[in-house]
Amino acid sequence: MDALTGVDIQELNVPSDFNYQMSRNVSINIIGAYRLPLTIRTTDGDVLLKAVMNPEFGIQTKLNIPGTVQSVVLAYQGQEVNINISSGVMQYDFSGGEGGRK
């Protein structure tokens, strides 16, 4: 691969649907049966959210997450699962998903 150098910006051939976003809104829907903390962190250890699980409604919100983050770690009740968020959705059921306890 040739080394990158400076170019005139008018040389760029950018896809028409590219919006230059370096982060994206991710819809979160995590379910758990116990009122215990859920931590969402990057694989590098940066905590994106730490909140107490609502056993009735789960944790539902949107988070703006850097585009460089392709997957996150969900930590809950001693379990840790890795979730790919490239689709813009972060969904997991700790009561019925893999490793679920209930």
Partner 1 sequence: MKRSFLIILVLSLFGLALYAAGTIVVWGNSNNVFINNNIPAGDDFVQVAGGRNYGIALRSNGTLAAWGKNTSNIVSNTPSGSNFIAISAGYEHAIALRSDGSIAAWGKNSNNVVSNTPTGNNFVKIAAGDYHNIALKTDGTVVAWGSNSRNQVSETPISETFTDIAAGFSFCVAVKTDGSIAFWGNSGGGNNLTPVPTGNNFVGVSAKNIHVLAMKNDGSIVAWGNATENLNVPAGTYIQMSAGWQGNLAIRTDGTLAAWANLWALRTIPDWVQDLDIAYVCAGYDFSLGITGSLDADGDGVADNLDAYPNDPLRAYDIIYPLNSPDAWGTLAFEDMWPQQGDYDFNDLVLDYNFKLVVNAQLKVVDIVTDLRLRAIGATFQNAFAVEFPFPASNVASVSGTGAGAPYQMPLIEAGEHCILKVISSTNDFVNVPGNDIFWNTQPELPNYPYIPISFTMNLVQPYDTDSSPEWGIANPYLMVNRVMGHEVHLPGYPPTMYADQSLFGMDDDTTDPSTGRYYKTSNNLPWALDIPISWKYPIEKKQITQAYFAFKPWAESGGAQYPNWYELTPGLHNPDFIYNP
Would you tell me which residues interact with partner 1 (CB under 8 A)?
A: 3-23, 25, 27, 33-37, 46-52, 54-55, 57, 59-64, 66-68, 75, 77-78, 101-102
Closest distance to partner 1 from the beta carbon of 71 (Å)? 14
All residues at 6 or more sequence positions from 87 whose CB lies less than 8 Å from its CB, including other chains: none
Q: 47 or 82, CB closer to partner 1? A: 47
Closest distance to partner 1 from the beta carbon of 84 (Å)? 15
Contact 86, 26 (CB under 8 A): no
- State the Cα–Cα distance between residues 101 and 82, nearest whole angstrom: 17
Closest distance to partner 1 from the beta carbon of 90 (Å)? 12
- State the Cα–Cα distance between residues 1 and 30, nearest whole angstrom: 42
Compute CA 77 distance to the chain's CA centroid, rounded to the nearest angstrom.
19
Q: 51 or 84, CB closer to partner 1? A: 51
